[in-house]
Every structure is written in C-alpha cells, then in structure tokens.
Amino acid sequence: MTGGIEDLLRARAEAPALSHARLDLERRLGFPAGRFTGPGLVLPLLAAVILTVGFYAALRLVPDTLVAASFTQRGAIPYTIAFGTAWGLAVVFVKARKVAVQRRALDLVLLPSDEPAFVLTPRTADSVLARLYEAVDDPQQFFLTRRIHNALSNLKNMQRIGDVDAVLRTHADNDEVQSDSSYTLLRGILWLLPVLGFIGTVLGLSVALGSFGAVLTNASDISQLKGALQSVTAGLATAFETTLQGLVATVAIHLLMIFVRGREEAFLEDCKDYCQRFVVGRLRLVDEERA
C-alpha cells in the first residue's frame, strides 16, 4: 500500500507542469475537446440539458409564481428559450475554463533562470525545446507553446532574426483567427434566442387576434364577451413574455461573452509579448563554428 502511494506521488512529481489532458475540462471529463479555447459540442449540450431540467424542477417548487407561469404556461417557445439560454451559458463557462488553462502557459520558464546572459541560437534551441517537452505534455495544444515550438524547430533554417519574428507574427495572426472562429456557436445561440422570442410574439398575437375575432362573432352579451376575452389575454401574454425572455437571455449571455472575449484577447496580446521578450529578444543567429 505504501509503495503504491509512493509511486503515485513520484508519478505526479514527474508529470509535466502543463498537461492539457489533465487541465482541460472536456478532456478531464472524457468528452471530445474543442481545439485551444473552442468548446466541443458534447459537454455544453449535456450541461444545457442538465441545467434546463434543473431549472424546471426548481419551478415546480414555486408553481404559483409569475416566473413559473411564464415558462410553463406559454406554449413550447419558453422551453426552447430556456434550453438555448442554458446552452449559451454552458458554452461561455467552458470557454472561460479553456482560456484560464491556456493562460497557464504564460507562467512557464523555458530559458535557464540562472543564466541572465543566455541567448537563443540554432544550437541552444535544442536545450530549450527539451525544457519545453519537460514542462508541457503536448506543446501543440497551447497557443503559446505551439508558437515557440514551431519557431525553435525551424530555427536552423532561418538566416535572420526577422525571419523568426515573421513566423511568430504569422502564428499570432492564425491564433487570432482560431480564437474568433471559436465564438461561432455562441454567435449562433445569441442570434437564435431573440428570434425564438419574436416567433413566440407572432404566435401569441395570431392566437390573440384569432380569439378576438371569434369573440366578436359569437358573443351575444357582455357576460359571454368577458369570459371569451380570457383566451385573448392569454395569447397576448405569450406574445410579450417570450420576447422579453429572449431579449433578457441574449443580453445576459452577450455580457458574459464580452467578459470572456476580453480576457482571451488580453491573453493573446500577452503571448505576443512573451515571444518578443523570451524568443525574439534572446536570438543570436550567428555561425558559432566560425566564431
């Protein structure tokens, strides 16, 4: 038993400081993971189902409230809005966790800390790559380490510092495109929610107008008119409440997305600064054998 614990502690001590398999939320839970900061499809969908079921289970505890009536007595549209809202929140949460994991790469120390005068050359690049593989289980899974790995791996083929800087800038531009594309699903959800609200509005108004026409045709006295108008007001409630639900959900998710996107954009800028200071700023492309 003691030997097993010691082996486990030794394995943890020898594990890379930055492990995508261990830190990424989707991979840790055994779901297909999206690349870099992009969430996959399975985990957010499953989380949306759980959140929606939990939301309606909570509404059953307060059946006489206005919120419960709004989401359970206005047709099918509120159910789809609730699910879409839960889906959007799950996507934002997974993205936020992925951005946090990517930011951990900024804490890596790849250059020898005890050698302030250390410079990067085609020869010393191999030692930095070795340190990179000791610190990261898969450098291609992180924005920052992928840039550094690809730049140093091709260092021997480059003749000028500007060539390395150009490679890093190209990677930075590609990473920005990759980051922007990871918001495609979220943009679709933000487009869908108000549209669902407007569909509920159209359906509710059509029900209300149809009921009102039937009331005017069939009602013969005031008492009948009063009872028949109840169906008209129910249709109007559906019309206005679904629009409100869709717009409120859209605003809430959009604000959260702005916060997460701001952190991701700041992270990408920090990656540029890191590469400039610790890669481009330390380069010395000289022929050491002739020196």
For residue 87, what pLDDT is reported? Answer: 96
d(CA 44, CA 27): 13
The residue with greater pLDDT, 210 or 101, is: 101
Name the band, by pLDDT with cuts 50, 70 and 90, for residue 74.
confident
Name the band, by pLDDT with cuts 50, 70 and 90, for residue 120.
confident
Flag whether pLDDT at 289 surpasses 50: no
Instruction: List, as one string, the DSSP characters of 172-224.
Output: HHHHHHHHHHTTHHHHHHHHHHHHHHHHHHHHHHHHHHHHHHHHHHH--SHHH
Flag whether pLDDT at 136 surpasses 80: yes
d(CA 170, CA 71): 49
Quick one: what percent of the chain has pLDDT higher than 70?
80
Name the band, by pLDDT with cuts 50, 70 and 90, for residue 291.
very low
* pLDDT single digits (tens) 31-63: 999 989 999 999 999 999 999 999 999 999 998
For residue 15, what pLDDT is reported? Answer: 66
For residue 79, what pLDDT is reported? Answer: 94
* pLDDT single digits (tens) 232-265: 565 566 667 888 999 999 999 999 999 999 999 9
For residue 185, what pLDDT is reported? Answer: 93
Q: Does residue 160 sit in helix, strand or coil?
A: coil
The 3-state DSSP composition of the chain as helix, strand, coil percent (nearest 5) reads: 75, 0, 20
- As a whole number, the mean pLDDT across the chain is 83
Domain locations along the chain: 1-291
For residue 58, what pLDDT is reported? Answer: 94
Flag whether pLDDT at 11 surpasses 50: no
d(CA 101, CA 19): 9
Flag whether pLDDT at 117 surpasses 80: no
The answer to whether the CB of 96 falls within 8 A of the CB of 194 is: no
Flag whether pLDDT at 202 surpasses 50: yes
Q: What is the mean pLDDT of residues 206-218?
A: 61
Flag whether pLDDT at 14 surpasses 70: no
d(CA 133, CA 284): 22
Name the band, by pLDDT with cuts 50, 70 and 90, for residue 163.
confident
Flag whether pLDDT at 180 surpasses 70: yes
